[in-house]
Amino acid sequence: MRVMGLDVGSKTVGVAISDELGWTAQGIETVRIDEEQGVFRIDRIAELVKEYEVGKVVVGFPKNMNNTVGPRGEASISYAKMIEEDLNLPTVLWDERLSTMAAERLLLEADVSRKKRKKVIDKMAAVMILQGYLDSQK
């Protein structure tokens, strides 16, 4: 069974998928959404779930540093509920504090240009979220 990892933002959702054994995470796509307009593209997530035969979804849960839940955390909870209800899949909220910053640092160290970083940062954050979850399961 493959696991999908999501980094949910207000404009994009980074998507990563595990290998069939659940050992490694690979970034596959950044899905454009529009939170203000209520466009969440669960339809595209459903297509990817079917294509990759996903059995579980891990949604990044950006808690505040003091462990409280802010607006972005609430948005992640809502997105996870939509997936559970619309796709009938179990979801896991995974503490992802600083995952986007860590992804940015990794891309900077790899000397990736700003333009290219902007295109892949959400997908890379989704990989880091999913890999953290997969590593915790071993």
By DSSP bridging, strand 12-18 and strand 25-32 are: antiparallel
Please report, in angstroms and rounded to a whole number, the separation of the first and last CA atoms in the chain.
Answer: 15
Residue 104: what are its φ and ψ, rounded to 5°? -60, -45
For residue 34, give the DSSP letter: B
- What is the number of residues in the chain? 138
Give the C-alpha separation, 125 to 14, whole Å: 7
Q: Domain range for residue 122?
A: 2-136
The CA-CA-CA angle for residues 76, 78, 84, to 5°, reads 105
Q: Which CATH number covers residue 58? A: 3.30.420.140
Phi, psi of 86, deg, nearest 5: -80, -35
Total number of domains in the chain: 1
* Residuewise pLDDT in 10s, the chain (138 residues): 899 999 998 899 999 999 999 999 999 999 999 988 888 999 999 999 999 999 999 999 988 778 888 888 999 999 999 999 999 999 999 988 656 666 667 666 766 666 665 667 788 889 989 999 999 997
What's the one-letter identity of residue 34? D
